[in-house]
């Protein structure tokens, strides 16, 4: 069966049968939006959200081109009918779902009454993942009809109270109107950057999509983390409030989809190719008041203060692939330094050696005896198999507490989603550090600034030498986010600086110091701080009072590390009788696949001292020739 396209919905709006193009003698239906809604109801497999987004985009682009021809005007009118029809169908589905929930609640009350339990008057819910019959209730159809809009208006608000007396006239007028066939692909349009795309960061981001039958959110609706927390709470409000023997419900709330290109999907057969593509940088785009004497009691403020945490702040940036199976199998490939130093890789033979048959001199100065020239043999690569981990999160809440104060549950869930992102970050950085080996201790400067920059500079230079890279080759440098204020504090007390130089050290200036050394620095959370296990580190319960005395730095070529994750992160709400006995239920459960590998090359972990003293090299007296004047003891 061919996939349903936007053109099929336009054909339905214009009187086509089952989405086929209407013939020349056809007339437009009286209610194009209702015709689209009926077509959608007959094809429940349609990705409604995707077609709706395409319709909105097409409407915007054709409108931007002027729509000054009859064909263009007919196209935007048809697109408006389609958009209205999607809305009508979504309202019908929501209404049908409400009818089903009400009926299930009635049946639940009958069961409770039969078993001797008190039947509550409140609304119950069951497995909301069940498919809603398109013809579940005539009331739902009435709701859908009431939501229909005047097709001639091209997409206005729903007018549920419209007079029914004018309907015959509208039908007659519509019936007399011939169809002006719309072929969407032939309509001129002007490319318009949609708001969701008009951002600086063009990297694909994870999308949160609402599951079916979530009150307040249409199926396929894109959600924020705040929306997701609210949607989970809405689902849970419908769970039975009394104990029901041997019952368990697990209802989907949403799915978080991590976008991967086809080339980034490792299915067990193409792991090496997917990892290589992910690591290929050439594909990237370069106080309180207290008063006494009041007789009135205190007022309780139930509004919460909002969320400070950011799910996207300070996360390490790594190439990612999708792991279809239980892990990744890969080989690091040959190492340049190892090949160059192999005694069989290249030779020198002098004439006396040749005459005497005493052997050869290797390219690195060693000796190979005998008369047979040493040749290097390409080794069979060794493959490494790394298995994935399961990373997840579960939150349990009290039924009565959530009913009385749902805002707290919602905010805890949102905090949990953000915490999950940062725990993925912590695990990633810890794996990177472990795979980088024992820290290299370096002390190459009298102060924090010089110590960090000199360590980065010498290691980048040495890394280039070891791999014979271009002298301007850029390397990745990972530092904890608190490294910036340490450098700024060091510069604030630097000897010989004026006020501007000392006190106006911006983030951009610090970044420029690293760029001058061909270092692409990443400032990250969740590494070398209290949340990653450092006692008394930044973010600990007790405020920090002194700068750290050392800092670890990771240095590697982009593509050295690759992270693999599953495609979908499932977010569910669960009800079970064991927890219900304790008046609890699971608010949210998340689980996903994760692994981090060192794909190739080397990574260096450097540990340098931090002295926030602003020290510089001692000034020395020079003579007229620029030579240091040696002080007589």
Question: pLDDT per residue over 119-173, tens digit each?
Answer: 444 444 444 444 444 444 444 443 434 443 343 334 444 444 444 444 444 444 4
Q: What is the pLDDT of residue 489?
A: 94
How is the chain split into domains, by residue range? 6-202, 334-380
Q: What is the pLDDT of residue 247?
A: 53
Provide DSSP, 339-387. Answer: HHH-TTS-EE--HHHHHHT--EEETTS-EE-SSSPP-PPPPPPPPEEEE
Q: What is the pLDDT of residue 100?
A: 80
Planar angle of CA 78, 74, 10, nearest 5 degrees: 30
Residues 81 and 9: their CA atoms lie apart, in Å, by 9
212 phi and psi angles, rounded to 5 deg = -70, 150
pLDDT less than 50: residues of the chain: 119-175, 195-202, 243, 287-292
Q: What is the pLDDT of residue 269?
A: 65
Measured CA distances, 377 to 346, 363, 374 (Å)? 11, 16, 10
Q: The pTM is what?
A: 0.53
Q: What is the pLDDT of residue 164?
A: 40
Q: What is the pLDDT of residue 201?
A: 45
Residues 242 and 403: their CA atoms lie apart, in Å, by 13
């Amino acid at each position: 069966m061919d996939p349903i396209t936007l053109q099929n919905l336009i054909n339905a709006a214009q009187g086509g049968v089952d989405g086929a193009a209407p013939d020349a003698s056809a007339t437009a239906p009286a209610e194009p939006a209702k015709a689209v809604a009926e077509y959608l109801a007959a094809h429940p497999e349609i990705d409604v959200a995707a077609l709706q987004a395409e319709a909105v985009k097409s409407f915007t682009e054709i409108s931007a081109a002027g729509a000054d021809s009859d064909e263009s005007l007919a196209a935007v009118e048809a697109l408006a009918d389609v958009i209205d029809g999607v809305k009508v169908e979504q309202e019908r589905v929501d209404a049908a779902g409400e009818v089903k929930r009400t009926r299930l609640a009635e049946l639940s009350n009958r069961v409770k009454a039969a078993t001797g339990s008190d039947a509550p008057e409140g609304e119950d819910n069951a497995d909301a993942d069940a498919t809603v019959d398109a013809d579940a209730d005539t009331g739902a159809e009435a709701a859908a009809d009431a939501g229909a809009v005047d097709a001639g208006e091209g997409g206005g608000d729903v007018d549920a109270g419209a007079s029914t007396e004018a309907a015959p006239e509208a039908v007659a007028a519509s019936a007399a109107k011939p169809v002006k066939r719309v072929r969407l692909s032939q309509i001129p349009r002007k490319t318009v950057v949609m708001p969701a795309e008009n951002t600086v960061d063009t990297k694909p981001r994870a999308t949160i999509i609402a599951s079916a039958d979530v009150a307040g959110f249409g199926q396929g609706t894109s959600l924020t983390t705040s929306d997701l927390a609210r949607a989970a709470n809405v689902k849970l409000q419908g769970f039975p409030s009394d104990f029901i023997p041997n019952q368990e419900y697990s209802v989907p709330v949403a799915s978080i989809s991590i976008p991967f290109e086809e080339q980034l999907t490792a299915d067990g057969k193409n792991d090496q190719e997917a990892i290589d593509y992910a690591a290929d940088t050439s594909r990237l785009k370069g106080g309180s008041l207290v008063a006494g004497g009041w007789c009135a009691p205190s007022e309780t403020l139930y509004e919460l203060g909002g969320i400070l945490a950011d799910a996207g702040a300070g996360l390490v940036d790594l190439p990612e692939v999708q792991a279809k199976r239980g892990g990744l199998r890969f080989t690091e490939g040959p190492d340049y330094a190892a090949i160059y130093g192999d005694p069989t890789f290249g030779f020198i033979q002098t004439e006396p050696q040749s005459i005497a048959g005493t052997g050869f001199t290797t390219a690195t100065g060693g000796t190979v005896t005998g008369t047979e020239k040493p040749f290097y043999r390409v080794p069979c690569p060794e493959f490494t198999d790394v298995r994935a981990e399961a990373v997840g999160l579960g939150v349990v809440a009290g039924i009565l507490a959530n009913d009385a104060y749902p805002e707290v549950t919602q905010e805890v869930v949102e905090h949990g989603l953000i915490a999950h992102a940062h725990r993925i970050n912590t695990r990633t950085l810890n794996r990177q550090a472990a795979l980088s080996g024992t820290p290299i201790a370096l002390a190459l400067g009298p102060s924090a600034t010089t110590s960090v920059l000199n360590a980065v500079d010498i290691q980048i230079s040495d890394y280039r030498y070891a791999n014979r890279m271009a002298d301007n080759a850029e390397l990745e440098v990972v530092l904890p986010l608190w490294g910036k204020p340490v450098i700024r504090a060091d510069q604030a007390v630097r000897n010989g600086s004026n006020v501007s130089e000392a006190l106006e050290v911006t983030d951009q200036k610090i970044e420029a110091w690293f760029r001058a050394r061909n270092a692409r620095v990443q400032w990250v959370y969740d590494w070398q701080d209290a949340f990653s296990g450092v006692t008394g580190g930044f973010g600990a319960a007790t405020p920090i009072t002194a700068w750290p005395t050392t800092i670890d730095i990771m240095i590697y070529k982009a593509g050295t590390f690759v992270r693999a994750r599953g495609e979908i992160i499932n977010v569910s709400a669960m009800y079970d009788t064991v927890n219900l006995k304790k008046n609890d239920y699971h608010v949210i459960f998340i689980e996903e696949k994760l692994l981090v590998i060192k794909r190739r090359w080397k990574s260096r972990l450097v540990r340098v001292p931090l002295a926030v003293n602003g020290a510089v090299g001692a000034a020395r007296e020079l003579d007229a020739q620029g030579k240091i004047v040696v002080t007589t003891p």
